[in-house]
Amino acid sequence: MKIKMMPYVGFFIVSLALAYFAADEGAHESESGQNWLKIAKGSIQEIAYEEDGNQTHVKKGQGEGIYWIETVLKLKSPEGEKEEKDRFLANEKLEEALERFHSFEVEKVIGDAKGLKLEEFGLDKPVGRLVVKYGENQELKLAIGKRSFQSPEVFVLDEGKQTVLLLDRQTIALLERPKNRLALTQPYRFKPDDLAAAMLSQEDKTAEFVQQGKGQARAWFTRGKSDSPNEAFRNWLDKLLKLRVEAYPSEEQVAGIEQLPRKFSILFRDERKELDLLTFYEDSSASPLRYWVKSRSLPLPVAVEGSKVSVLLADLKGILP
């Protein structure tokens, strides 16, 4: 009887061992991908990031979802090192970075900094720093160390909690030289594919256009004239939607822009609501000639490519009655 029970006893012992190791492994896994901090949406006031002497400051502006980005880049030239400063509005991609801070997750909690050799993580001499200001005078301060061996993660030190963490570098990657990734490049925020109607006006002339059909068969028509598509307006609109932001006004310029000659306006709608109203102003005193666009979706007017607006104005003669 004892002999017959031995295989079962052995199986029972092995099962217990496997269960123990599985539980132990699970305990280690709980340290990975955990939420380290929660920041309420809309409560982030500023993000400051510095690495290799380059600085990026993200600051909350006036209005829902409006953020300004200020950068200082260290550039080398034959004359020596110099600073290049820039300031621009953030595009919708900033939401990706903000989302990572709203639910701030870390790959792994390494441990209390007091019990670790910080030089092993590159944190004795950090290569950069990240500060997130949120809520009522609250801050998340991270010192940035070296990358984990052959991985996209980076070691950071939470200076407030004095804890070493392993962080996915994508959390801060968008803040590195953000002009190409985060700058607002279009004078509007809607998606062109959502457009269903547009009302174009210049002085006392007005025309309304609607988009009909689906997919590649979609076409623009003058309202009330559905017999043939209005190709002239479609081509004109394609050019307008490709305009790019070139500059922002100084505080002194803002008030004077609406006093400039208004060249034309265009109101955009989707199937249910108004999306945006763009109004173009001409500054003939600027050299070269400058055009400002005031948009309902942007907190400030923006300057766009002047030569392309000149073409749009010339083409309007064949579109408006």
Per run of 10 residues, the mean pLDDT along the chain (length 321 residues) is 45 40 33 79 92 91 82 84 89 88 92 95 95 94 90 93 94 86 92 95 96 87 91 97 92 88 97 96 93 92 95 94 77
Q: Residues 295, 187: contact at Cβ < 8 Å?
A: yes
- What proportions of the chain, in percent to the nearest 5, are helix, strand and coil? 30, 40, 30
Quote the pLDDT of residue 33: 65
Q: Residues 207, 267: contact at Cβ < 8 Å?
A: no
Q: What is the pTM of this model?
A: 0.71
Quote the pLDDT of residue 262: 97
In degrees, to the nearest 5, what angle opens at C-alpha 201 toward C-alphas 200 and 203?
Answer: 165
Q: Which residue ranges make up each domain of the chain?
A: 37-182, 192-318
Which DSSP state fits 183? B
Quote the pLDDT of residue 82: 85
Q: Which residues pair with 199 in a beta bridge?
A: 208, 267
Q: Which two tokens stand for residue 171?
A: 């959390």
* Cα–Cα distance for residue pair 155/145, rounded to 1 Å: 5
Quote the pLDDT of residue 53: 86
Sign of CA dihedral 156, 158, 159, 163: negative
Q: Which residues pair with 55 in a beta bridge?
A: 50, 72
* Cα–Cα distance for residue pair 249/283, rounded to 1 Å: 12
Q: Which residues pair with 276 in a beta bridge?
A: 268
Quote the pLDDT of residue 27: 31
Alpha carbons within 13 angstroms on the beta-carbon side of residue 160 total 11
Q: Which residues does 219 contact at the CB level (< 8 Å), separation at least 6? A: 211, 212, 213, 229, 234
Quote the pLDDT of residue 319: 94
For every residue of 6-56, DSSP letters joined together read HHHHHHHHHHHHHHHHHHHHHHHHTTEEEEEEE--TT-EEEEEEEETTEEE
- Long-range contacts at 193-198 (CB < 8 A, ≥ 24 apart): 194/270, 194/275, 195/268, 195/269, 195/270, 195/275, 196/269, 196/270, 196/271, 197/223, 197/268, 197/269, 198/237, 198/266, 198/267, 198/268, 198/269
Q: Residues 79, 86: contact at Cβ < 8 Å?
A: no
* Cα–Cα distance for residue pair 38/178, rounded to 1 Å: 24
Quote the pLDDT of residue 158: 97
